[in-house]
């Protein structure tokens, strides 16, 4: 008798994670509600919204932007964003003619406190290797086409140092509040694979 076939559209890592979670829950070693709470916290509460608030403040407060450039760890910490993989931070400011891109070539070092959970593509071998060899091509695959004379600087995140890209403030946002501006800041723009959203 043939076996029933169930299509599984999960990538291998997600499938393994779910299998491990199932075993741990069945053995009573973890509480599924606790897992859900951790995921919710890093996906929504701790995460890209925190980074967006940092960026928006840098756009609206020159003194904070200067502090962020000089000591990103302290400036970010002053906003209450501390914790896992956010202990040693450096802010990279995009500007006319300069675009920053962050990658972790060895593993997936990532500033959870300001960006939340890392996207799957950030941990993938093709992104980790091609970002160094062909950053312009990688950016174009993300839909980010930069002028040919733009200097693309690639930064390799490590256990000792993690990076937050401060994208350029979009035109047409003069007079906007920090809260309004934060809504234009997306996670990918803080990694460098995208620009901030247009108003």
pLDDT category of residue 11 using cuts at 50, 70 and 90: low
Positions at the binding site = 104, 107-109
pLDDT value at residue 112: 84
**Domain identity same for 165 and 91:** yes
Q: How many domains does the chain have?
A: 2
Segments in the chain forming alpha helices (H): 12-26, 32-40, 48-60, 62-70, 72-78, 112-115, 120-123, 125-133, 135-141, 178-182, 187-191
- Parent domain of 29: 12-43
pLDDT value at residue 5: 37
Task: State percent of the chain over pLDDT 70.
Answer: 84
Lowest mean pLDDT among 35-44, 63-72, 82-91, 108-117: 35-44
**Domain identity same for 30 and 68:** no
Nearest to 164 by CA among 44, 39, 75, 60: 75
pLDDT value at residue 134: 97
Does the model's pTM come out above 0.75? Answer: yes
Task: Read off the pLDDT of each residue in 191-195 and give the average, rounded to a whole number.
Answer: 98
What is the per-residue pLDDT across 47-74, written as a single tens digit (0 to 9) for each? 689 999 999 999 999 999 999 999 999 9
181 burial type by CB count under 10 A (0-12 exposed, 13-18 middle, 19+ buried): buried
pLDDT value at residue 6: 40
**Domain identity same for 60 and 37:** no
**Domain identity same for 183 and 99:** yes
Average pLDDT for the chain = 87
Pairing of strands 162-166, 151-156: unpaired
Positions at the binding site for Fe(3+) = 104, 107-109
pLDDT value at residue 85: 55
Tell whether 199 is covered by a domain: no
**Domain identity same for 71 and 28:** no
What is the per-residue pLDDT across 117-172, written as a single tens digit (0 to 9) for each? 888 899 999 999 999 999 999 999 999 999 999 999 999 999 889 999 999 999 99
Residue 184, pLDDT > 90, answer: yes
Residue 194, pLDDT > 60, answer: yes
Tell whether 5 is covered by a domain: no
Q: What is the C-alpha to C-alpha distance for residues 67 and 55, in angstroms, rounded to an integer? A: 12
- Known catalytic residues are 104, 107-109
């Amino acid at each position: 008798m043939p076996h029933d076939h169930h299509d599984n559209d999960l990538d291998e890592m997600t499938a393994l994670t779910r299998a491990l979670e199932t075993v741990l829950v069945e053995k009573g070693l973890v509480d599924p509600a606790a897992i859900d709470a951790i995921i919710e916290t890093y996906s929504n509460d701790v995460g890209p919204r925190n980074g967006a608030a940092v960026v928006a403040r840098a756009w609206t407060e020159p003194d904070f932007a200067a502090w962020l450039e000089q000591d990103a760890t302290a400036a970010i910490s002053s906003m209450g964003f501390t914790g896992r993989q956010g202990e040693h931070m450096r802010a990279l400011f995009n500007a006319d003619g300069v675009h920053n891109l962050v990658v972790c070539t060895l593993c997936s070092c990532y500033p959870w406190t300001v960006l939340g959970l890392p996207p799957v593509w950030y941990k993938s071998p093709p992104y980790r290797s091609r970002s160094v060899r062909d950053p312009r091509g990688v950016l174009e695959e993300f839909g980010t086409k930069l002028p040919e004379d733009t200097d693309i600087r690639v930064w390799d995140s490590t256990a000792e140092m993690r990076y937050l890209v401060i994208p350029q403030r979009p035109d047409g946002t003069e007079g906007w509040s920090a809260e309004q501006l934060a809504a234009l800041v997306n996670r990918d723009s803080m990694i460098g694979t995208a620009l901030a959203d247009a108003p």
